[in-house]
Amino acid sequence: MTSSNLSMSILRRSLRVLAGAATLGVGSVLLWQARAPQDLPAPLVTGEAAITNAYTLTDHTGRTVTADSFAGQWQLVFFGFTHCPDICPTTLGYMAQVMDLLGPDAEQVTPIFVTVDPARDTPDVMAAYVEAFHPRMVGLSGTEAQVAEAAANFRVWYERSEDATAPDGYTVAHAGHIYVMAPDGGFVDVWLEGDAPADAFAANLASLIQSTGNSS
Amino acid sequence: MKTIAIAFLAAALPGLAAADVIVTAPWARASILVSRPGAAYLTLTSDTGDRLIAVKTPAADRAMLHGTETDADGVSRMAHIEALDLSPGETVTLAPGGMHLMLMGLAAKLEEGASFPLILRFESAGEVAVDVPVLGVAATGPEGEE
């Protein structure tokens, strides 16, 4: 894998972010363990190796999918929820813009939106969302346990918090990163909307795609 | 303390000429499902200083000012802001990733190309009404800024 200076600096920053998230995440890992089944992966410490592209979820067409379903494609993976009116549509719009900027290379990329609120974000809801943003976008939902497992594997922190002023009385705080996963499923790096313009993200992805050739 | 002082002044000086608050560049994102909250954004400026205390719109049951706080780890949380202080001459912009007006209980989907009225109530300036154009689902700023 070759990376530009830009992607290396983002990777280095990402790893610092992840180290911080791991420190913060102790409480939430305990929370997951308290409410999720025993088959959760053991918590890992930190760093690139800790991020695992592994899940079993239901896509927006109702099909059961795993990370292997997207093998051979570059994947942009974002965790959010549809009751989130600000950060989530902003990030999904950013991902769609990156896809458009990629031109023909976009055929080798699948943007994936995973809900952290599966109780409300059914496959039908996810279908409405992903179709509104990009024709190649995939929406993934599942059971609470399946989503918790997916988030744990990606080291994505999220937490439901009660909020009387929010719809249905709760909101979900969550990490807003976009994970770049290689066609072999390996973690490459992580981007955050607002940290880099869409064209910088697209240029970085294009160089990654060029570096591996048009194999897919 | 500041709250009390301003409230006291406002109460003590009801005859004070209403100060103007300039509301510019309002916009909202089109909604995908009517059951999901919408978001609207705008820019506020007050020459004399003021305080935004309430927002309402016929487009939704409730409109509330929310701040999105993203910490160093990229974790975003929304926080309800009860009142927003405007310092004299300072421009406050509500924008994606920062503050937004959350519209809950939409009367209908916010359709791209449509617009809806929004009424902002300020402590000194009173009510200011603006017409909010609805932009696309992936819009990131007001018309003409992209």
Does the pLDDT at position A58 exceed 90? yes
| B114/B31 Cα distance (integer angstroms) | 11
Place of tokens 């004299």: B88
Q: CB of B110 within 8 Å of any CB in chain A?
A: no
**Cβ contact A89–B29 (<8 Å):** yes
Q: CB of B92 within 8 Å of any CB in chain A?
A: no
- pLDDT (tens digit, 9 = 90+) per residue, B123-139? 999 999 999 999 999 99
Q: How far is A194 from chain B (nearest CA, A)?
A: 8
Select from B33, B76, B137 the Cβ nearest to the Cβ of A93. B137
DSSP element (H, E) containing A30: helix A26-35
C-alpha pair distances (Å), B26 with each of A52, A75, A133, B42, B119: 42, 35, 22, 4, 12
Q: What pLDDT is stored for residue B69 in this prediction?
A: 77
Residue B41: give its domain's CATH number: 2.60.40.1890
Q: What pLDDT is stored for residue A15 in this prediction?
A: 43
Quick count: other Cβ atoms within 10 Å of Cβ B15?
Answer: 4
Does the pLDDT at position B3 exceed 60? no
Q: What pLDDT is stored for residue A28 in this prediction?
A: 35
- Give the domain range for residue B130: 18-135
Q: What percent of chain A has pLDDT over 90?
A: 62
Chain B's closest residue to A161, CA to CA, is: B77
| B99 within domain boundaries | yes
Chain B's closest residue to A177, CA to CA, is: B74
When pLDDT is cut at 50, 70 and 90, the band that residue A191 belongs to is very high
Give the Cα-Cα-Cα angle A135, A7, A25 (nearest 5 degrees): 80
Q: What pLDDT is stored for residue A162 in this prediction?
A: 87
DSSP element (H, E) containing A199: helix A198-212
Does the pLDDT at position B76 exceed 80? no
When pLDDT is cut at 50, 70 and 90, the band that residue A206 belongs to is very high
CATH class held by domain A5-212: alpha beta
Does the pLDDT at position A142 exceed 50? yes
| B7 within domain boundaries | no
A65 in Cβ contact with A150 (< 8 Å) = no
The interface predicted TM-score of the complex, written ipTM, equals: 0.81
| B69 within domain boundaries | yes
Q: What percent of chain B has pLDDT over 90?
A: 73
φ/ψ (deg, to 5) at A87: -60, -40
B66 in Cβ contact with B56 (< 8 Å) = no
Q: What pLDDT is stored for residue A213 in this prediction?
A: 63
Question: On the CB side of A62, how many CA atoms lie within 13 Å of its CA?
Answer: 1
Nearby residues of B2 by Cβ (< 8 Å), 6 or more positions away: B85
Inter-residue long-range contacts of A61-68, CB under 8 Å, 24+ positions, other chains counted: A61/A123, A61/A127, A62/A123, A65/A138, A65/A140, A67/A181, A67/A185, A68/A185
Q: How many domains does chain B have?
A: 1
**Cβ contact A125–B96 (<8 Å):** no
A–B CB contacts, 8 A cutoff, strictly below: 94
- pLDDT (tens digit, 9 = 90+) per residue, B11-34? 444 444 455 899 999 999 999 999
Select from A93, A166, A194 the Cβ nearest to the Cβ of B138. A93
Among the listed residues A82, A27, A75, A28, the one whose alpha carbon sits nearest the alpha carbon of residue A55: A75
C-alpha pair distances (Å), B31 with each of A20, B56, B58: 34, 18, 16
